Structure 1
Amino acid sequence: MTARRLTADETQAFLEANPAVQWIDAFLFDMNGVPRGKRIRRSDLAGVAKKGLLMPASVFIMDPLGNCIEETGRLWETGDPDRQCHLLGGTLSALPVGDGRHAQVVMAVDGKEELDPRTVLANQVERFARVGQTPVVAVELEFYVTKRGKNGAFVLSTPDGLSDDPCRPLTFGFEEMDALSAFIDDVYRICEVQGLLVDAVMQESGPGQFEINLKHRPDALVAALEGLLLKRAVKAAARAHGLDATFMAKPHHDWAGSGMHIHLSLVDQSGQNLFAGDPVSKLFLHALGGMRESMADFMAIWAQSANAYRRYVPKSYVSLAAHWGFNNRTVALRVPRDNGAATRIEHRVAGADANPYLVIAAILAGMWHGIANETDPGPAAEGNSETIDAPPLPIAWVNALDLFQRSPIVRGAFGSSFQEVFSRLKQSERSNFERIVTPLDHLWYSQVA
């Protein structure tokens, strides 16, 4: 899976090897990480591979429901022009579940589109490349498997054979993986066909909650894309078994939240880990300092939805402040016990519903800030970090968005256009979400006064 264009030979080989495939979904990912694109016929694939596809620029200013948000100032004012897109080599693959008639391929915008999350990450990677450094990245994702609701509607109902008791989570057990073994087999089968380097799967701490890890990639763009494609693979496997899967950060107030943990190191041109030291390098400490100092500025990236902020609660292995520490799961920035070539940071702040392109871009932006300014991370937290003072994170969405919109660190890394448009997009989503009166309002407040 690389950034090269899909070739005619690759296309022809795919068609010959997959005679049953009749439809191919060609898509890119918007700011929310939602795949958006077009479904093309088998007979059109070769032509599209050669000429590409057009996508409206408004695809990057959509809310999670697919509405173009005019408050961004990028809809009527621009005429919503098309953007030329090409198909990415290495991403054309069949979907080996269901009726066998479907396949998929990832698109990328020609050149650079300032509102494209892929471009935002590419810009951060290029900053490090100019000084001979390469980020090595792996994505971990947590998710819930549920029964499928009527007419495809989402319901949080645990599949048959699984516990529905949050006091009996069976964490790190095998019973629930045994019950869903056919589903898990299909997840890994899809990933194998698509070239996704999946690692371990484990039972997490919520009813029907699991975690799947991806292996490290010396290409941050590939690692981010694999995180997005893993989500799609999990959902496809769930549908094939009459189930559903969700990467909501907090699908139930009494159940464990779902996070996205990013493992990241930095290597030089000879492949040497620049974070390695005794116990870590000075460069790594500066990177930690930058990630700490910028963490609140990027909170709107770690938590991109109203639901995501419900995940930030005490005693949940989700840090509420910018702590760092060695082999300590209560901190936001965990340095695992591995050393030498395996020395890395585990960034534990983002919700599973966030866009990996933007999450990794924000981590790299914080690292760059710290290295450039030789920022001191302060002492490592020991024990329960919740009892130790540290810069708090803005765990109310309105505060996170305000800080993101004003941050010079965000502006310097992501550009003023992306900063402004993303802020307006999410402010619109926030105001629309918060204006809705829910049954809980009636239950709690109808009898007041």
Structure 2
Amino acid sequence: MSAISGNTGAGTDESISGSGNESLFVSPEHEREYRAFIKEHPDIEAVEFLIVDPNGVMRGKWAPGDALKKAFQEGVNFPMSLHGLDVWGREVEATGLHIETGDKDGYCRATRGTLAIVPWAKRKTAQVLLQTFTPEGEPYMADSRQVLKHKVAEANAKGFFPVVAFELEFYLLDPETDWDDGMPAPVGASAGPDRLRMYGLDDLAEHAELFDMIRDAADAMNLPIDTIIKEAAPGQFEVNLKHRADPLKAADDVILLRRIVMGCARAHGLTATFMAKPFLEYAGNGMHVHTSMLNSDGVNIFGHAEGRPVLESAVAGLLKTMPESLLLFINTWNGFRRITPGSYAPTRAVWAENNRSVALRIPVSNEHNRRIEHRIAGADANPYLVMAAIMQGMIEGITSKAVPPPPIEGSAYEDEGLFLPDDMDDALQLMEKSRFIDRALGPLLAKVYKDLKRAEIMAFWSEITPLERTTYL
């Protein structure tokens, strides 16, 4: 993939100001988008309102079609406590967002550019991604999308314009076939555990109708899908998105792509999962992030000979902040099972040129599209928070002219670089001591996120596993 230049900044995102007349629409751009959509689709029967919580889980509600207009005007009412739910969707009182506040509603407004038809719905249904504002109309800073929007504006004001592309791995599962303890089997697993068929074209052809539906849905939602690849396990695939000169829209792409893949798989009688480590014997699902950085003239500041020290300073900033940020990149208990030696999932905070065993890889590229590939995140992580931490780490490294350790040679699993935490509780303890997380997420979401992770850890600690019972009874 190549980085793009020229169009800088996050100008595709919506304004929250009024249009200067008596219109109830949030902005003239909102009004134009809504009216153009209704003109093309006057027979909308239903709408699905979508909101992303701190775990990156899609939440929301279904409404009749005539409710769509409200999302483009003052907004749809949702409790702001939605952003204080754990991964199971349960209220975590420690966040302070729930009944102790009166469980107040906020206004959730349409995100421009995300209004689209749901291709797998039986009725004519629209969907739109929302973001949360307070009752007073201010961005609600426990909403991860609002946090990243603030970080992008902050970066742009300093003269930094990131260009971003995400890669997502997932499994296709056959819900009619049991693999282990109720877990559906990955498609193709019946051919034998050694039949991994990496980069297999036959596997793509076997599911051609599904992947055609995914591409068509992505086109309808203006998601820039690039390549689709058969990955390193039965039923495992990867979808790569093209670079965007707008980190906010790139993160939106991830949220909507996960929904597309799961919806299209369901329409074909399959289940798709982005779970970080669904099978111990097979590779986990990662979310790799390619990032370059433009200046205000649209020039990649990592390019050419003079850009090399800048790139290395960005690498240094990412390495320094990686251990304390790890719980943003690996946000689930299960995700830490993915971080194992020899698995192409990094275990150490190290970097290298053209080396897939490291946390930060500098891919083969020309001077124009030189970039950093961040290889830590699980495919189920919240892309807004992943991107906020990556941007903050890069910019702090660049502005301080930080110097990284030398790049490694060979396997990172045999290197002596800094080990990353391999346990969710250890990662949380590093995060709780971190001032960087407050700078990356803002004080409200930083507190909420740590409260959620502590509650989730306690939930896992309160379970006695079947293995323990069979061992000690």
TM-score by length of 1: 0.94
Whether contact under 8 Å (2:49, 2:62) holds in the other structure is yes
Instruction: Give 1:158's aligned residue.
Output: 186
Instruction: Give 1:204's aligned residue.
Output: 231
> What's the CA shift for 1:283?
1.3
- How many pairs are equivalent? 443
Relative distance call for 1:309 and 1:77 in structure 2 (3 A) is same
Instruction: Give 2:18's aligned residue.
Output: none
Distance (whole Å) between structure 1 residues aligned to residue 344 and residue 358 of structure 2: 8
- Name the SS of the counterpart of 1:423 in structure 2: helix
Relative distance call for 1:99 and 1:74 in structure 2 (3 A) is closer
> What's the CA shift for 1:284?
1.1
Is 1:418 the counterpart of 2:445? The answer is: yes
For 2:101, the aligned partner's letter is T
Kindly report which structure 2 residues correspond to 1:66-215, keeping only aligned pairs within 5 A, or say none.
66-110=89-133, 111-148=138-175, 155-159=183-187, 163=190, 165-215=192-242
Distance (whole Å) between structure 2 residues aligned to residue 165 and residue 351 of structure 1: 26
Relative distance call for 1:10 and 1:413 in structure 2 (3 A) is closer
For 2:278, the aligned partner's letter is P
Partner deviation per Cα, 1:122-147 (whole Å, 9 max, x = no partner): 23222321122200000100000012
Is 1:29 the counterpart of 2:56? The answer is: no
TM-score by length of 2: 0.90
Q: CA RMSD in A?
A: 1.9
Partner deviation per Cα, 1:220-276 (whole Å, 9 max, x = no partner): 000001011100000010111111100000001111100000000100111100111
Instruction: Give 1:258's aligned residue.
Output: 285
> What's the CA shift for 1:19?
4.5
- Name the SS of the counterpart of 1:7 in structure 2: helix
Whether contact under 8 Å (2:274, 2:379) holds in the other structure is yes
> What's the CA shift for 1:70?
0.7
Whether contact under 8 Å (1:158, 1:164) holds in the other structure is no
> What's the CA shift for 1:35?
1.6
Stretches of structure 1 lacking an aligned partner (at least 5 in a row): none
Is 1:362 the counterpart of 2:389? The answer is: yes
Kindly report which structure 2 residues correspond to 1:166-315, keeping only aligned pairs within 5 A, or say none.
166-278=193-305, 280-315=307-342
Is 1:320 the counterpart of 2:347? The answer is: yes
Kindly report which structure 2 residues correspond to 1:331-370, keeping only aligned pairs within 5 A, or say none.
331-370=358-397
Instruction: Give 2:21's aligned residue.
Output: none
Relative distance call for 1:340 and 1:243 in structure 2 (3 A) is same
For 1:25, the aligned partner's letter is E
- Name the SS of the counterpart of 1:442 in structure 2: helix
Relative distance call for 1:48 and 1:73 in structure 2 (3 A) is closer
For 2:209, the aligned partner's letter is A
Distance (whole Å) between structure 1 residues aligned to residue 192 and residue 44 of structure 2: 42
- Name the SS of the counterpart of 1:296 in structure 2: helix
Greater mean deviation of Cα atoms: 335-344 or 274-283: 274-283
Greater mean deviation of Cα atoms: 401-410 or 45-54: 45-54
> What's the CA shift for 1:280?
4.8
Greater mean deviation of Cα atoms: 359-368 or 39-48: 39-48
Whether contact under 8 Å (2:70, 2:76) holds in the other structure is no
Whether contact under 8 Å (1:156, 1:251) holds in the other structure is no
For 1:343, the aligned partner's letter is R
**Which among 1, 15, 34 is matched to residue 11 of structure 1?**
34
Is 1:387 the counterpart of 2:414? The answer is: yes
Whether contact under 8 Å (1:162, 1:179) holds in the other structure is no
Whether contact under 8 Å (1:54, 1:84) holds in the other structure is yes
**Which among 50, 75, 79 is matched to residue 52 of structure 1?**
75
For 2:122, the aligned partner's letter is D
Of all paired residues, the percent bearing the same amino acid is 37
For 2:80, the aligned partner's letter is A
Relative distance call for 1:217 and 1:189 in structure 2 (3 A) is same
Relative distance call for 1:149 and 1:69 in structure 2 (3 A) is farther
Is 1:43 the counterpart of 2:71? The answer is: no
